[in-house]
């Protein structure tokens, strides 16, 4: 695992203290592979955070994680806490002593609670008053006295959704615990952790070295496990060894291994002593869709697939064994025997699925519930078809094909292939549609409807695919909000956050100038029994704006920049994006801070005016040179900016508006807006109103923080 480096905390009283390495190891039955990495990081953080909170210094922390162990090694952990100065404030001096200076019962009671006489207490005086004060020094505890509780607390707070019990004990953990190592220097810290007594002996590989390995000190932990126990305890080191072995095995096959990082993590969490070996399968299986073969190898069997120079699948795989066999050919043959029936099943599913067209499968959707209050998948596909057709009309795409994609969008969910490989939904829809003779655009859209599936995933590239992806996600958003089940905390069973961000990415990064409120209204219209559709539309819109906020914050956009644009409530996300970029560029101009402050001042003045302000500025009432100059420059700038705003070129528009800074500064330096002359005051308010309104065409820059 990565080695987090910690800066030792400074102590008020520096003194030489011996320091030793501390090793903590929890030995278990096989831990959940997909959770191993996160469990290790959480365990390490729990240990180091608690150690730092207790004022114990250490040099660095190393984390270890294998299928059968979680470990933390703190190098150079100090032997004791630093002594601490303790201060207790007692009663006020006026309450502690009477008029003759004699200690009151309050003072005597405080002294007794501190274990001293009143005369031993200090008097702490300030201009605001004085108090009795007791100072003492709390002696720091030894590290060995604190470690056991630190470990217990770190284990208790691990993110484990469901804990289990074993044997007759009451302890619970993610898996049964079999041994515990608590070794400080060469001394065992005696404790009971999760019902197991601590010691100095770790255990090696389950098969290669099932016996104990006694450790004399923590520093030999990793090397002893690897040298004697056939265990590589470091997650990252084991991960890189697997990567190197897999790549080398692929080279011998004259191909390239495709190594998905998530699969690499999972395989790393399954083995302690990795040994990669290649295998082969019958070339006739290459007639199956490549995605099916890949899903079989990676998802079902945890194999890495191999491609040639053109990216085409080779009839080979690379497996990672947890043993170093004396007869690797037997292990290879065993893996080949395992993959053969898996691929045969996939071939059978593929053959059976192609016997029935997607269109004929539509009726099967009537028996599959999408959501109990929102109907079946058939009803959802009808709504999606309506909305996809509506979006296609706005994009200038083929409306007939768009409707067809909506009708067929969920049909592959009732195929045997998707039943076996749920991750292939959409993919199998594309293959089946092509086999059925559907237009290529329809087939491709069926695959694109689920994009983006995850952060950084590719977006749908075709207009029909974009429309179908939007329709599917927006229908789900509106429907789930309509029944009052928005995401709560970490619970988001319908993936509404992902759906909202996916829609926004499609609209923004796909440069689709579509109105989000219009799309939500169209989605809501497909629910004829929907109560208060406008309320639902507002709720979904606001929910999506919060996802949009996170989208821009993750991209480095300042919160105040986002708020400046959100204040104008642009309903077209792509237009919102152009405004965001324009305001971000504007913030880099030297005039930005002054103009933002001026707009904030104008907003406050207009608000305090407390009446309807006219729009027209009377030139005859422009009394001061500064206001005449501002009015003239505003008129010239308005003439240049309007055409830019009509083209949505907000960057150029704000750049032009930045040229008003000197005139605006001069106006506020030389002109009294709220003067006694009512006509002059109203005319100046109108001038400021027009100035502020022109800026508002792009964004409310008064919200910028400078």
The DSSP string of 574-627 is HHHHHHHHHHHHHHTSTTHHHHHHHHHHHHHHHHHH-SPPPSPPPGGG--SHHH
* Residue labelled with tokens 């365990």: 43
3-state helix, strand, coil split of the chain in percent (to 5) is: 50, 15, 30
Angle among Cα 10, 14, 18 to the nearest 5 degrees reads: 100
From CA 424, how far away is CA 420, in angstroms rounded?
9
Cα-Cα-Cα-Cα torsion 401, 407, 408, 410, nearest 10 degrees, comes to 140
Q: How many CB atoms lie within 10 A of CB 367?
A: 10
Q: Do 44 and 61 contact (CB within 8 A), yes or no? A: yes
- The partner residues of 125 in beta bridges, in order of sequence, read 130
Angle among Cα 151, 153, 159 to the nearest 5 degrees reads: 105
pLDDT at 706: 64
Q: Do 474 and 387 contact (CB within 8 A), yes or no? A: yes
Enter the tokens of residue 560: 């105040």
From CA 111, how far away is CA 116, in angstroms rounded?
5
pLDDT at 10: 36
pLDDT 10s digits, 45-95? 999 999 999 989 999 999 999 999 999 999 999 999 888 888 889 999 989
pLDDT 10s digits, 248-285? 999 999 999 999 999 999 999 999 999 999 999 999 99
Could you please report the per-residue DSSP string of 297-325? IIIIS-PEEEE-TTSPEEEEEEEEESS--
Taking the CA atoms of 518, 523, 528 and 530 in sequence, report the sign of the dihedral they define. negative
Mean pLDDT value across residues 620-633 = 92
pLDDT at 350: 97
Q: Is 567 or 126 the better-scoring residue by pLDDT?
A: 567
Compute CA distances 547 → 379, 498, 543, 554, 572, whole Å: 28, 9, 7, 11, 15
pTM: 0.82
From CA 252, how far away is CA 280, in angstroms rounded?
13
Q: Do 701 and 601 contact (CB within 8 A), yes or no? A: no
**DSSP H or E run through 210:** none
Enter the tokens of residue 310: 């053109």
Radius of gyration for the alpha carbons in the chain, expressed in angstroms and rounded: 35
pLDDT 10s digits, 371-404? 999 999 999 999 999 999 999 999 999 999 999 9
Q: Do 436 and 455 contact (CB within 8 A), yes or no? A: no
pLDDT 10s digits, 512-548? 999 999 999 999 999 998 888 999 999 999 999 999 9
From CA 357, how far away is CA 411, in angstroms rounded?
9
pLDDT at 17: 57
* Residue labelled with tokens 């179908």: 468
Angle among Cα 514, 516, 519 to the nearest 5 degrees reads: 85
* pLDDT surpasses 60 at 333: yes
Enter the DSSP assignment of 656: H
Pick from 643, 635, 630, 646: which is nearest to 684 by CA? 630
Pick from 604, 619, 595, 599: which is nearest to 674 by CA? 604
* pLDDT surpasses 50 at 4: no
Pick from 551, 580, 556: which is nearest to 568 by CA? 580
Number of H helices and E strands in the chain, helices first, is: 26, 20
Mean pLDDT value across residues 292-299 = 97
pLDDT at 417: 97
Enter the tokens of residue 663: 């005139």
pLDDT 10s digits, 153-206? 999 999 998 999 998 889 999 999 999 999 999 999 999 999 999 999 999 999
| β 177-184/196-199 pair status | parallel
Enter the tokens of residue 141: 């505890």
Enter the tokens of residue 101: 């200076």
CA 580 to chain centre: 22
**Mean pLDDT across the chain:** 93
Compute CA distances 275 → 248, 266, 315, 323, 578, whole Å: 12, 15, 20, 7, 52
Pick from 177, 207, 209, 202: which is nearest to 192 by CA? 177
Q: For residue 84, with 0-12 CB atoms within 10 Å meaning exposed, 13-18 middle and 19 or more buried, which class applies?
A: middle
Q: How many CB atoms lie within 10 A of CB 682?
A: 17
From CA 275, how far away is CA 260, in angstroms rounded?
18
- The partner residues of 276 in beta bridges, in order of sequence, read 320
Q: How confident is the model at residue 609 (pLDDT cuts 50, 70, 90)?
A: confident
- In the chain, what are the domains? 19-81+142-228 (3.30.70), 84-138 (no CATH), 235-353 (no CATH), 359-556 (1.10.3210), 580-703 (1.10.730.10)
Pick from 609, 605, 672, 665: which is nearest to 633 by CA? 665
Q: Is 353 or 613 the better-scoring residue by pLDDT?
A: 353
pLDDT at 61: 97
Enter the tokens of residue 130: 């004085």
Strands (E), 369-471: 369-371, 375-376
Mean pLDDT value across residues 15-21 = 73
pLDDT at 251: 97
Enter the tokens of residue 330: 């037997």
* pLDDT surpasses 70 at 616: yes
pLDDT 10s digits, 406-440? 999 999 999 999 999 999 999 999 999 999 999 99
pLDDT at 168: 86
Q: Do 544 and 504 contact (CB within 8 A), yes or no? A: yes
Question: What is the phi/psi pair of residue 274, to 5°?
Answer: -70, 135
From CA 552, how far away is CA 48, in angstroms rounded?
33
Please state whether the peptide bond connecting residue 452 to the residue before it is cis, i.e. omega within 30 degrees of 0.
yes
pLDDT 10s digits, 687-702? 999 999 999 999 999 9
From CA 672, how far away is CA 674, in angstroms rounded?
6
Mean pLDDT value across residues 446-455 = 95
User: Strand, helix or coil at 212?
Assistant: strand
pLDDT at 610: 76
From CA 2, how far away is CA 237, in angstroms rounded?
9
Q: Do 246 and 302 contact (CB within 8 A), yes or no? A: no
- Which stretches within 54-131 are classed as H helix? 93-96, 105-114
User: Strand, helix or coil at 510?
Assistant: coil
* Residue labelled with tokens 């009971």: 192
Q: How confident is the model at residue 129 (pLDDT cuts 50, 70, 90)?
A: confident
From CA 425, how far away is CA 10, in angstroms rounded?
56
What angle separates helix 533-554 from helix 516-524, to the nearest 10 degrees? 140
Q: How many CB atoms lie within 10 A of CB 388?
A: 33
| β 196-199/192-193 pair status | antiparallel
**HEC string of 512-574?**
CCCCHHHHHHHHHCCCCCCCCHHHHHHHHHHHHHHHHHHHHHHCCCCHHHHHHHHCCCCCCHH
Enter the tokens of residue 585: 């560029």
- The partner residues of 63 in beta bridges, in order of sequence, read 72
Enter the DSSP assignment of 396: T
pLDDT 10s digits, 28-44? 999 999 999 999 999 99
């Amino acid at each position: 695992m990565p080695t987090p480096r910690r800066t030792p905390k400074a102590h008020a009283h520096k003194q030489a203290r011996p320091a030793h390495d501390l090793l903590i190891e929890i030995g278990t039955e096989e831990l959940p592979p997909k959770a191993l990495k996160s469990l290790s990081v959480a365990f390490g953080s729990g240990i180091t955070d608690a150690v730092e909170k207790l004022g114990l210094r250490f040099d660095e922390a190393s984390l270890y994680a294998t299928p059968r162990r979680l470990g933390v090694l703190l190098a150079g952990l100090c032997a004791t806490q630093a002594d601490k100065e303790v201060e207790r404030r007692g009663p006020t001096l006026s309450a502690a002593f009477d008029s003759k200076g004699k200690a009151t019962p309050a003072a005597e009671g405080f002294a007794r609670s501190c274990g001293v006489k009143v005369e031993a207490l200090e008097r702490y005086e300030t201009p605001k008053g004085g108090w009795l004060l007791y100072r003492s020094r709390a002696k720091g505890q030894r590290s060995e006295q604190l470690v056991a509780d630190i470990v217990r607390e770190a284990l208790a707070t691990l993110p484990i959704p469901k804990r289990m019990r074993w044997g007759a004990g009451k302890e619970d953990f993610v898996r049964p615990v079999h041994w515990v190592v608590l070794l400080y220097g060469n001394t065992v810290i005696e404790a009971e952790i999760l019902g197991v007594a601590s010691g100095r002996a770790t255990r090696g590989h389950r098969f290669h070295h099932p016996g104990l390995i006694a450790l004399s000190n923590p520093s030999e932990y990793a090397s002893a496990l690897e040298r004697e126990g056939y265990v590589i305890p470091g997650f990252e080191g084991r991960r890189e060894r697997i990567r190197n072995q897999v790549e080398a095995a692929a080279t011998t096959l004259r191909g390239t291994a495709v190594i998905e990082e998530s699969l690499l993590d999972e395989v790393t969490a399954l083995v302690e002593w990795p040994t990669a070996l290649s295998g082969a399968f019958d070339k006739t299986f290459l007639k199956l869709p490549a995605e099916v073969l890949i899903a079989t190898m990676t998802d079902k069997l945890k194999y890495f697939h191999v491609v040639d120079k053109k990216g085409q699948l080779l009839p080979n795989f690379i497996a990672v064994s947890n043993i170093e066999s004396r007869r690797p050919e037997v292990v290879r043959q065993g893996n080949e025997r395992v993959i053969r029936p898996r691929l045969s099943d996939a071939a059978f599913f593929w053959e059976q699925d192609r016997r029935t067209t997607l269109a004929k499968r539509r009726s099967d959707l009537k028996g599959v519930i999408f959501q109990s209050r929102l109907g079946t998948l058939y009803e959802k596909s009808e709504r999606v078809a309506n909305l996809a057709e509506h979006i296609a009309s706005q994009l200038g795409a083929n409306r007939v094909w768009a409707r067809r994609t909506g009708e067929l969008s969920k049909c592959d969910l009732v195929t045997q292939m998707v039943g076996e490989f749920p991750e292939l939904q959409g993919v199998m829809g594309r293959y089946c549609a092509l086999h059925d003779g559907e237009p290529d655009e329809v087939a491709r859209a069926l695959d694109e409807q689920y994009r983006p599936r995850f952060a950084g995933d590719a977006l749908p590239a075709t207009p029909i695919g974009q429309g179908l992806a939007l329709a599917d996600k927006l229908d789900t958003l509106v429907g789930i909000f309509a029944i009052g089940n928005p995401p709560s905390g970490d619970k988001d069973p319908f993936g509404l956050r992902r759906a909202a961000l996916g829609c926004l990415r499609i609209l923004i990064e796909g440069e689709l100038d579509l109105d989000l409120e219009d799309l939500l209204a169209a989605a809501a219209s497909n629910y004829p029994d929907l109560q208060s559709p406008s309320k639902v539309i507002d709720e979904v819109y606001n929910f999506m704006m919060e996802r949009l906020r996170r989208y821009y914050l993750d991209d480095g956009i300042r919160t105040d920049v986002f708020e400046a644009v959100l204040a104008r409530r642009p309903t077209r996300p792509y237009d919102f994006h152009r405004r965001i970029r324009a305001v971000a560029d504007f913030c880099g101009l030297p005039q930005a801070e002054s103009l933002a402050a001026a707009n904030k001042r104008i907003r406050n003045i207009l608000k305090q005016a407390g009446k309807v302000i006219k729009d027209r500025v009377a030139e005859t009432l422009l009394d001061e040179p500064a206001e005449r100059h501002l009015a003239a420059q505003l008129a010239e700038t308005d003439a240049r900016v309007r055409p830019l705003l009509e083209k949505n070129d907000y960057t150029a528009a704000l750049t032009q508006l930045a040229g008003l800074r000197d005139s605006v500064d001069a106006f506020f330096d030389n002109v009294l807006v709220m003067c006694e002359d009512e006509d002059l005051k109203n005319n100046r308010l109108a001038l400021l109103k027009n100035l502020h309104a022109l800026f508002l065409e792009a964004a409310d820059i008064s919200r910028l923080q400078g």
